[in-house]
Amino acid sequence: MRLLVGLGNPGARYERNRHNIGFMAVDAVVRRHSFQPFRARFKGEAAEGTIGGERVVALKPHTFMNASGEAVGAAARFYKIQPEDVIVVHDELDLKEGKIRVKRGGGAAGHNGLRSIDALFGNDTWRVRIGIGHPGVKELVHAYVLQNFLPEEMEWVPKVVDAVADAMPLMVEGNPTAFMSKVDLVLNPRPVNPPRPAKGEAVKPAEEGER
């Protein structure tokens, strides 16, 4: 059994904030894999479903970001889930917009949601880090993460969270490398090589404008 946690802040005011991309990704997973509806539980909203044959509980803490560990700890204790079976999806300032990286454990790197989870539950969780870019100046970080995504950014955000949802079975089965590769392939499809001409067949020269 897995606990899938999306980090964010509750309420319409924060819904489209950069800090809420974890909520957006978990919502996409719940839609993609036909989970049961969210209901109020564990100081947040929880929905149950199955991914790749494994039972998964999706959780969006409503404690606000700085106290996310309260909700994660409550859900994990109820289901008797260990930290290594928890997947936390969150925004990452140190990654370019739309980039995905996965790591297990480690420091919180200034992320208050992770810091709360580490303190109140444990830091041996899996982290799916979704890049939101950096404002360039440390003093601007707080305002930056609590701003809505710009209209031009909302062109890539749905694609990224849908790619995460599509590849989530690989993460649930414990294959983070394959998960990252599939997300990258969805977001950056490789060009299909044209068939090679048969032996002895002349190659048609490119027309003007095709070069």
Residues annotated as catalytic are: 19
- Side-by-side strand order, sheet with 39-41: 39-41, 44-51, 54-61, 2-6, 86-92, 126-131, 100-104
d(CA 164, CA 179): 8
Residues in the chain: 211
Structure tokens given for 139: 């003093």
Cα distances from 174 to residues 116, 124, 127, in angstroms, run: 24, 14, 12
How far is residue 78's CA from residue 201's CA, in Å, rounded to a whole number?
68
What is the Cα–Cα distance from 136 to 120, expressed in whole angstroms? 31
Give dist(CA 81, CA 77) in Å, integer. 6
Q: What's the burial of 79, exposed, middle or buried (CB within 10 Å: 0-12/13-18/19+)?
A: middle
Sign of torsion, CA 155 156 157 159?
positive
